[in-house]
Structure 1
Amino acid sequence: MDAEHVAGELESVVLTEEQILTRVAALAAALAEEYAGRTPVLVGVLGGAATFTVDLARAYPGQVEIAWMAIKSYSTRNRASGSVRLLKDLDLDIAGRDVIIIDTVIDTGLTMNWLIANLRQRGPASVAVCALMKKPDTPDFGETPAYVGCDVPAGLIVGYGLDFRGHYRNLRCAAVLSPVHARG
């Protein structure tokens, strides 16, 4: 779906389809340089990061393995609480492996910090984070390397796999949903 199909529901487009593909290619190249000669495990966070994970894997110029986790983050009054529930765990052992957590957008960083801690308990050789977008005021992840495509404004980001109440995942761009539609 193109942005013009839902233009009245969007506040602004933050990344066009072309900009997304350019940033995905740049992130894949940076990761390939860092992990040259190794086969990292891309851990995609379902469901929002499915599109990004697959596109990143396709752009990666070497071998990667893809694994999936699904988690549910809880919030109170539209603020992340830091409470996370694991809905789907990895189907493979990551002990001794290079793990890259893939997420489309990092907001507060609370869920990502939970994922990093959870995966580190499993004995990987390394853990890194790769996100296409990062919202303002997101904290660093300590000594965990983070590869980020770009900073985006605050607001509810939809498109490129990200949804609001099940809608907009198939939007080819990434956009801020208008506040009127974000309440609805």
Structure 2
Amino acid sequence: MEASHVRGELDEILLTEEQIQTRVAELAAELGTVYAGRTPVLVGVLNGAATFTVDLARAYADQVELTWMAIRSYRTHNPASGSVRLLKDLDVDITGRDVVIVDGVVDTGLTMNWLIANLAQRSPASIAVCALLRKPETPRFEGTTTYFGFDVGPGNIVGYGLDHQGRYRNLRCAATLAPRTYAVK
């Protein structure tokens, strides 16, 4: 879907489709250098990272294995606290494997910290994080290599797999949703 189809619902286009695809190719090349001669396992975080994960895998110049996890975060008033519930677990054994957790956006770190801890218990050779977007409040993940596509500001970001109430995932760009779009329902 083009941004022009929902222009009145968007506040600002942050990244065009071309900017995203260029950066995805750069990230794939960087990962390809790091994992040369090995087959990393890309763990896509459903549903928001599906588009990014598939595009990253397609841009990767060598063999890569894809698998998926789905989780739901429940935050409290303190953004750094809350709980995470596993909805779908991995379909592959990652023991002794290089694992790259692929997510669309990392903000508070609650979900990512949970994923790193959960996957570390399965004895992988290594764990890295690759996210297309990083918000300003994103913490550092001690001992975990991170790859980020773009730093973005606050706001409800939609497009390129990211949604608001199940909508806008098929938007080709990344944009902030206009507050008036979600303020009144």
Do both share a fold (TM > 0.5)?
A: yes
In the alignment, what sits opposite 2:40? 40
Letter in 2 for 1:93: D
Deviation at 1:80, TM superposition (A): 6.2
Secondary structure (helix, strand or coil) at the match of 1:147 reads strand
Letter in 1 for 2:40: P
Work out the number of aligned pairs and report it: 184
Secondary structure (helix, strand or coil) at the match of 2:19 reads helix
Residues 84-114 of structure 1: per-residue CA shift (max 9 Å, x gap): 0000000111000000000011111110000
Taking the aligned partners of 2:29 and 2:78, their CA distance within structure 1 comes to 35
TM-score with structure 1 setting the length:
0.97
Taking the aligned partners of 2:157 and 2:88, their CA distance within structure 1 comes to 24
Secondary structure (helix, strand or coil) at the match of 1:37 reads coil
In the alignment, what sits opposite 2:178? 178
Q: Is the 8 A contact 1:99 1:128 kept in 2?
A: yes
Secondary structure (helix, strand or coil) at the match of 1:69 reads strand
Deviation at 1:77, TM superposition (A): 5.6
CA pair 44-154 structure 1, distance change in 2 beyond 3 A = same
Unaligned runs of 5+ in 1: none
In the alignment, what sits opposite 1:108? 108
In the alignment, what sits opposite 1:86? 86
Taking the aligned partners of 2:138 and 2:166, their CA distance within structure 1 comes to 25
Q: Is the 8 A contact 1:159 1:172 kept in 2?
A: yes
In the alignment, what sits opposite 1:65? 65
In the alignment, what sits opposite 1:6? 6
Unaligned runs of 5+ in 2: none
Secondary structure (helix, strand or coil) at the match of 2:23 reads helix
The percentage of aligned residue pairs carrying the same residue is: 71
In the alignment, what sits opposite 1:119? 119
Deviation at 1:78, TM superposition (A): 9.4
TM-score with structure 2 setting the length:
0.96
RMSD: 1.2
Deviation at 1:82, TM superposition (A): 3.0
1:30 maps to 2:30: yes
Secondary structure (helix, strand or coil) at the match of 2:101 reads strand
